[in-house]
Homo-oligomer: A and B are copies of this chain.
Amino acid sequence: MKHTPRFDSDYMQTAHPKVMEALASTSGKDFTGYGLDEICRSAKDRIARECGCEDAEVFFLEGGTQTNAVVIGALLHPYEGVIAPATGHISVHESGAIEAGGHKVLALPHRDGKLSADDVRKYIKGYYDDANYEHMVSPGMLYITQPTEFGTMYSLEELKAFRSICDKWGMPLYMDGARLAYALAADRSITLKDYASLCDVFYIGGTKCGAMLGEAVVFPRKRIPRFFSTIKQNGALLAKGWVLGVQFDALFTDGLYYECGKNGIETALALKGILKEKGYRLYVDSPTNQQFIIVDDSRIDEMRKVASFEFWDRYDDAHTVIRFVTSWATRMEDVLALRDAL
């Protein structure tokens, strides 16, 4: 039976072969527990170097929602909330994990998944200008996703504008990098060093970027007290922390992480070209590994025969927005085959 190539998400394939090998190579070995082993040390050092911050603190967690909840919970005061686009992962798709931790997500309007610095500025100013501001949730952090949930990207200038807002109001800037490998490949003018220099904390996504599981939280400069205990309290501390370390060690050896991103972007852009060539209408003009198109409802069943993709949203009575996602694992031949099949 012919295998239908999967474009429904970037967490469908197991893990990059080199990550699989690295994991397999641990068979029969033993490690100190809780991420205090030498492989975690090595992986953390590699990441810190890549970020240009030798003193950075790096922690490995298991998944994105968990990482967001742990980081946001650790940085906010109880009376603070986190500013995020209304389409942000924390705003919509984390089953209320942020609120379960006691914090409001202050959802602002988005354009193609992006916050604008102007909107953020206006919101914060409006907050402090309000005579009743003390009765309202205090904006205590800015959350962005790079690339966004719509595949779009913030430019370096846009990121600097957020940094300057955060400096002005004494708020940390936190970047959710669940798909950071693809951002790094899509816009090479923004490097990990830039992200580390701009953010107070961010995470380098593993699960969607070549790992089996795992995300690497980076605090480039300021350390926060007892983060280890915070991780434990949130049920996010693995006894066998090396499971995460060994994967990130592999991903940050010989540029594997960048390679993963590169394949995702190359296949995505090829796919985008084919879709446009075939006359499909783009819903968003995305430079990364998620591509959204508007299709006539009547065509969907037929399309499903040649590729798996995700229903995204209703567009209007007769049209649907669907999403194609590529990844480190997408084969160019599967993409090119769509030229004939679609």
Residues of A whose CB lies within 8 Å of any CB of B are 6, 9, 11-15, 17, 20, 23-24, 26-33, 62-70, 73-74, 77-79, 81, 92-97, 99-105, 131-132, 134-138, 207-208, 212-213, 225-226, 228-230, 232-240, 242-243, 311, 329
Contacts and interface: CB of A to CB of B under 8 A. Distances in A.
> Which of A63, A94, A102, A233: most chain B CB closer than 10 A?
A233
Nearest to A79: B229
Nearest to A19: B27
A229 B33 contact: no
A210 to B, nearest CB: 12
Nearest to A9: B33
Contacts of A230: 78-79, 95
Contacts of A69: 235
Contacts of A213: 238-240, 243
A143 B10 CA distance: 38
Nearest to A81: B96
B30 A235 contact: no
A283 to B, nearest CB: 17
Copies of this chain present in the complex amount to 4
A66 B236 contact: yes
A32 to B, nearest CB: 8
A12 B30 CA distance: 5
Given A20-B27, A29-B13, A239-B63, A78 B94 contact: no
B78 A100 contact: yes
A233 B78 contact: yes
Given A63-B238, A228-B134, A96 B79 contact: yes
B26 A225 contact: no
Given A240-B11, A240-B207, A233 B81 contact: no
Contact of A135 (B11, B20, B28, B232): B232
Contact of A81 (B28, B63, B99, B208): B99
Given A62-B238, A213-B238, A237-B65, A27 B12 contact: no
Contacts of A20: 23-24, 26-27
Contacts of A11: 33, 239-240
A329 B95 CA distance: 39
A242 B68 CA distance: 22
B15 A30 contact: no
Nearest to A24: B24
